Amino acid sequence: MILKIYTIEHPVLRKKAKNVEKIDNNIKKLAEAMFETLKTVDGVGLAAPQVGKSLRMAVISYEDQDLVIINPEIIEKEGEWVDIEGCLSIPGVEIPVKRAQKITVRFQDLNGKTIVMKAEGMWARIFQHEIDHLDGILIVDKIEEDVKV
């Protein structure tokens, strides 16, 4: 099922999302629908608030790898890197955003298994972007002025 992607004016995008308490069939179906939706647009990640669900989960599809992240938290950051980012909830806008170059993130997968993963470069950027969505933060809140990308 293709889901509607909410845009910047929708209040769900500005709320801190709630933890997923139980990974049940509804959560698994939501993840499946989010992947299906993501594959119809030009994006690498989609957070539950972007499809109207105030839940701490997102899907990432990058470099032929699909990942569901549930209740993610960044536990370590290293370095800085400014690069251009876009957002499916702000169509047509691309802006420079400063992010950590390397991160360590902890999350649960669809089986409820806790995973600790190190990510760097584009993977780190995608994780940070999607986790920002779960905290009600959009790229327009992170604009870097007068920087070279």
Question: Has residue 149 been placed in a domain?
Answer: no
Question: Has residue 29 been placed in a domain?
Answer: yes
Question: Has residue 95 been placed in a domain?
Answer: yes
- Say which CATH number the domain at 31 has: 3.90.45.10
Question: Has residue 2 been placed in a domain?
Answer: no
Give the chain's domain count.
1
12-16, 18-22, 40-44, range with the lowest pLDDT: 40-44
How many Cβ atoms sit within 10 Å of the Cβ of residue 112? 11
Question: Has residue 136 been placed in a domain?
Answer: yes
In the chain, the amino acid numbered 33 is A
Closest residue by Cα to residue 45 from 22, 21, 69: 69
d(CA 126, CA 113): 21
pTM of the full structure: 0.95
pLDDT tens string 91-131? 999 999 999 999 999 999 999 999 999 999 999 999 999 99
Closest residue by Cα to residue 50 from 61, 37, 68: 37
d(CA 148, CA 60): 27
Q: Which domain holds residue 54?
A: 11-142
Catalytic annotation, pick one of 63, 130, 144, 145: 130
Question: Has residue 148 been placed in a domain?
Answer: no
Question: Has residue 106 been placed in a domain?
Answer: yes
Question: Has residue 122 been placed in a domain?
Answer: yes
What percentage of the chain carries pLDDT values higher than 70? 96
Residue 130 bears catalytic tag: yes
pLDDT at 54: 99
| Coil/strand/helix, residue 134 | helix
